[in-house]
Amino acid sequence: MSINQLILNLQHLFTQIDMTTWIVISINLLLILFSRPLVSMVYHDGHHDSRFSQRLHVFRALNLVILIAFGYYHLYAGKEQQSLALKLVTIPVIIYLAFLSAHLANYFILKRYGKKREIKESIRQIETYHTRLLTLFAQVFIFIITLISIIRLLGFNTLLETGGVIGFIGVLLALTQGSWAPDIFSGIIILNSDMVEEGDVLQLRCAEPIYGMVFKTKVFHTEILNLVNNHRIMIRNAQLRDQVIHNLSKFASAKGLREKLSFKIGYDQRPSIVKEMLNSAWEKAIEQQISGLETQHPVEIVVGETGDHAVEWWVFYHTKDIERLPRIRAELNELFLETSIEFDISLSTPLTHIAVLIDRKPESDDAGEG
Q: Do residues 262 and 314 touch, judged by C-beta distance below 8 A?
A: yes
- Predicted local distance difference test score (pLDDT) of residue 211: 87
- Predicted local distance difference test score (pLDDT) of residue 337: 93
- Predicted local distance difference test score (pLDDT) of residue 42: 64
Residue 200 CA to residue 323 CA, distance in Å, equals 9
Mutual angle of helices 50-75 and 19-33, in 10-degree steps: 160
Per-residue pLDDT of the chain (370 residues), as tens digits, is 466 655 655 555 556 566 666 777 777 778 778 777 777 766 655 545 666 777 777 777 777 777 776 666 665 555 455 566 566 667 777 887 888 788 888 888 888 888 877 766 677 777 887 888 888 888 888 888 888 888 777 776 666 666 776 777 777 777 877 778 888 888 888 888 878 888 889 988 776 778 889 888 888 888 898 888 888 888 888 888 888 888 888 888 888 899 999 999 988 889 999 999 999 999 999 999 888 898 888 899 999 998 888 899 999 999 998 888 889 999 999 999 999 999 999 888 877 766 666 666 655 555 455 4
- Predicted local distance difference test score (pLDDT) of residue 272: 92
String of DSSP letters for 289-336: T-TTB-TTSPPEEEEEEE-SSEEEEEEEEEES-GGGHHHHHHHHHHHH
pTM confidence score: 0.63
DSSP tag of 80: G
- Predicted local distance difference test score (pLDDT) of residue 276: 93
Q: How many C-beta atoms surround the C-beta of residue 187 within 10 A?
A: 26
Residue 56 CA to residue 75 CA, distance in Å, equals 28
- Predicted local distance difference test score (pLDDT) of residue 370: 45
Structural domains in the chain plus CATH codes: 3-185 (no CATH), 192-247 (2.30.30), 257-342 (3.30.70.100)
